Amino acid sequence: MILTFLGTAAANAFPEAFCKCRNCAQARTLGGPSLRKRSAALINNDLLIDLGPDIMAASHMHSCSLDDVRYCLQTHPHADHLDLSHLLSRSPAYGVVGAPVLDFYASRETLERAAETFERDLARYSLLSAEAEKYLNFKIHQVQPLEPFMVGPYSVVAFPANHAPGMGAMLYSIEANGRAIFYGTDTAALLEETWQAFRQHKMRFDAVILDHTYGPEQSGGDHLSAHQVIEHADRMRSEGVLGSRGRVFATHIAHEGNPAHPELAAFAKKHGYEVAYDGLVLTV
Ligand SMILES: [Zn+2]
Ligand SMILES: [Zn+2]
Ligand SMILES: [Zn+2]
């Protein structure tokens, strides 16, 4: 599988455009991998993870067309991960030609939240109606946590995230052709039921992507911190969840506690993981 990071920042992007903190100033000066858009990822050319607010910009900046995207796995409905206006803008009524039907996967709670927002702000019909499927050229699928399902050629499992109680936030494992990726943002420390499911399904990942909202000098909370990422990577290695050549990448990086890319990447290297950046293309 080819994994492209479309965005690697937490909710307020990095640099936060209005902020004068040291990290934002440093990122602005350095540019390149230090400039992060809100988190989203693309697998091969057809599976999007999160219909995020910056995916259009990412597509333009990283020469990464989304015109073959057929599937979307939605983690949760927070605004830095879900911009429902993309559903309208990619529809035939907005002049879009040749886009395949989009199979859109999310938890029940995420779909309910999305439907509320959509009907209040964007359209006069329900997102969960046959009308929506027709006008938006898409099809909704409700995912059941911890039950494997197929998304086209991909075998997927949704794991409840330790994040946004009541919103049905999910983390996803995605497997194809004997290779497996775990996409783990947004979340605080993984729930024990997730570790159990890893064991039960005998999961062994080639690449693990983890929430890294909080930096080296911060403790976690509602998201993972640098030190928790290190602990998670160690536990994954010792429990065999991470293959012997498996790699761990940080994403969802916030400006408050994380330095610009080169400094953060050096810290990560010392501690056995890597830092993703926007436009990074991984062959898994
Ligand atoms: Zn987020
Ligand atoms: Zn800042
Ligand atoms: Zn969130």
pLDDT in tens, 142-161: 999 999 999 999 999 999 99
Q: Is the pLDDT of residue 250 over 90?
A: yes
Say what percent of the chain tops pLDDT 70.
100
pLDDT at 115: 98
From the CA of 54, the nearest ligand is 1
Distance 68 CA to ligand 3 centre (A): 27
pTM for the model: 0.98
Q: How far is the CA of 50 from the centre of ligand 3 (A)?
A: 11
Q: Find the 106 Cα to ligand 3 centroid distance in Å.
A: 14
* In contact, 152 and 47? CB cutoff 8 Å: yes
Closest ligand to C-alpha of residue 169 is: 3
What is the DSSP pairing of strand 281-283 with strand 2-7? antiparallel
Residue 266 makes CB contacts below 8 A (sequence gap 6+) with none
Tell me the CA–centroid distance for residue 182 and ligand 2, in Å. 29
pLDDT of residue 125: 96
Distances (CA, A) of 155 to 3, 38, 139, 175, 190: 15, 26, 18, 5, 21
The mean predicted confidence, pLDDT, of the chain is 97
pLDDT of residue 244: 87
The CA 16 to ligand 3 mean position distance, Å, reads 17
26, 72, 62, 16: which is closest to 278 by C-alpha?
A: 62
**Whether the predicted pLDDT of 220 surpasses 90:** no
CA of 50 to the centre of ligand 2 (A): 24
Contact 247, 274 (CB under 8 A): yes
Q: Is the pLDDT of residue 243 over 90?
A: no
**What spacing in Å lies between the alpha carbon of 162 and ligand 3's midpoint?**
10
Q: Which ligand has an atom closest to residue 50 CA?
A: 1
Report the distance separating Cα 20 and Cα 31, nearest Å: 15
Per-residue pLDDT, 88: 97
Please give the distance, rounded to the nearest whole angstrom, from the Cα atom of residue 98 to the centre of ligand 1: 31
Q: Does 25 have pLDDT greater than 90? A: yes
List CB-based neighbours of ion ligand 2 within 5 Å: 16, 19, 21, 24, 255
